[in-house]
Chains A and B, each alone.
Chain A
Amino acid sequence: MAGKPVLHHFNARGRMECIRWLLAAAGVEFEEKFIQSPEDLEKLKKDGNLMFDQVPMVEIDGMKLAQTRAILNYIATKYDLYGKDMKERALIDMYSEGILDLTEMIGQLVLCPPDQREAKTALAKDRTKNRYLPAFEKVLKSHGQDYLVGNRLTRVDIHLLEVLLYVEEFDASLLTPFPLLKAFKSRISSLPNVKKFLQPGSQRKPPMDAKQIQEARKAFKIQ
């Protein structure tokens, strides 16, 4: 189908949010079909729509693509957000993988058992402050350009903006020592497509609290 991409997921950030961000930044309109009951998920599985019985799944260009990275890579390639050559793609991939690791680490905190939360939170703050943010501040400093790779917008700029907003939700003071990252955040947030996605009423999803996630997982028997 040559229509809009159709995104299948729960009505939540989860592993689909980075895909929403990338499509929005590329100016691509998309539809969402929210899984709202166990029967919805079961039907997707039984119809053979989920290769590994998991979402996210995106219907795009005649494919039913599962696996977050496969979906992101395809969208980035299609909309020219994946660098100009193999070496730029390697840098973009290296940076993107670091960002996805950080996103996962912060995202998992809400599900952390209470007895581990303090230690895990402290570790997440330490890694954010001493590992990930310095690495990207250094990239921006080393080339002095507005974008991370190739002096133009790529997917990794979108991924980094997304995670900086999560860092801010997590602990805004973590960004204080990183002036280039703060400037980067402002710059990318001001791009027209991104600005629109950041407005209320867009397809961007809010954070969920632990209780909401627990209930959703119970309903869908996800472990």
Chain B
Amino acid sequence: MAGKPVLHYFDGRGRMEPIRWLLAAAGVEFEEKFLKTRDDLARLRSDGSLMFQQVPMVEIDGMKLVQTKAILNYIASKYNLYGKDMKERAIIDMYTEGVADLEIMILYYPHMPPEEKEASLAKIKEQTRNRYFPAFEKVLKSHGQDYLVGNRLSRADIALVELLYHVEELDPGVVDNFPLLKALRSRVSNLPTVKKFLQPGSQRKPFDDAKCVESAKKIFS
């Protein structure tokens, strides 16, 4: 089908959120079909739509793609957000994988047992401040350009800016210690497509609240 991509997931951030950000930043309109019950997931599984019985799944260009990274790679390639050559893609991948490692910790945080949350939050803060943010601040400082790779927008910028927003929900004001990251966030946030996605009423999802956690548990456990 040559129509809009269709995103299948529950109505929450989770592993689909980086895909929403990337599609929105690329200016691609998409539809969402929210899973609300276990039966909804069972139906997708039994009709053979999920290669590994898991969502996210995105219907795009005749494919039913699962696995967040496979989906992101395809969208980034299709919309020219994946660098100009093999070496740029390698650098973009390295940066994006670092972002994904921290993002996954943040993603899981609301769904954790209460007794594990304190240690996890401490680790998120420590790794944000001492590992990931310094690494990216250094990249921006070393080349002095507006974007992370190749002096133009790529998926790495979008992934990082998404992360900056998400980290600050757990560690308010942390970005203030990283002036170049703060400037990157401002720049990317003001791109027309991203600006629109940041407005109320867009398909961006809020931090997973207790209701959202409950709903995910109902579907997946």
- B53 cross-chain contacts in A, Cβ below 8 A: 131
Interface assignment of B209: CB less than 8 Å from any CB of chain A: no
A90 to B70, CA, bound (A): 6
B interface majority secondary structure: helix
9-residue interface stretch from B17-25, B33-41, B61-69, B158-166: B61-69
CB distance from A132 to the nearest CB of B (A): 7
Q: Does A90 contact B90, Cβ atoms closer than 8 Å?
A: no
- B65 cross-chain contacts in A, Cβ below 8 A: 90, 94
Q: Which interface class (under 10, 10 to 19, 20 to 34, 35 or more) fits A?
A: 20 to 34
Q: Which of A54-103 contact B (CB under 8 A)?
A: 61, 63, 65-71, 73-74, 77-78, 86-87, 89-91, 93-98, 101
- A87 cross-chain contacts in B, Cβ below 8 A: 61, 63, 74
Known contacts A69-B69, A94-B70, A97-B69; A63 and B90 CB within 8 A of each other? yes
Known contacts A86-B74, A93-B69; A51 and B98 CB within 8 A of each other? yes
- A70 cross-chain contacts in B, Cβ below 8 A: 90-91, 93-94, 96-97
Q: Does A73 contact B89, Cβ atoms closer than 8 Å?
A: yes
A interface majority secondary structure: helix
Known contacts A51-B98, A51-B135; A77 and B63 CB within 8 A of each other? no
A39 to B112, CA, bound (A): 35
Q: Which interface class (under 10, 10 to 19, 20 to 34, 35 or more) fits B?
A: 20 to 34
Q: Which of B54-93 contact A (CB under 8 A)?
A: 61, 63, 65-70, 73-74, 77-78, 86-87, 89-91, 93
Q: Does B93 contact A52, Cβ atoms closer than 8 Å?
A: no
Q: Which of B51, B61, B74 has the most CB of A within 10 A?
A: B51
Q: Does A53 contact B131, Cβ atoms closer than 8 Å?
A: yes
Q: Does A52 contact B52, Cβ atoms closer than 8 Å?
A: no
- A71 cross-chain contacts in B, Cβ below 8 A: 90
A68 to B66, CA, bound (A): 20
Query: Can you list 10 contacts pairing A with B, beta carbon distance less than 8 Å?
Result: A51-B98, A52-B98, A52-B101, A52-B131, A70-B93, A71-B90, A77-B89, A86-B77, A91-B63, A131-B53
The 5 closest A-B pairs by CB, nearest first: A70-B93, A93-B70, A97-B67, A67-B97, A94-B70
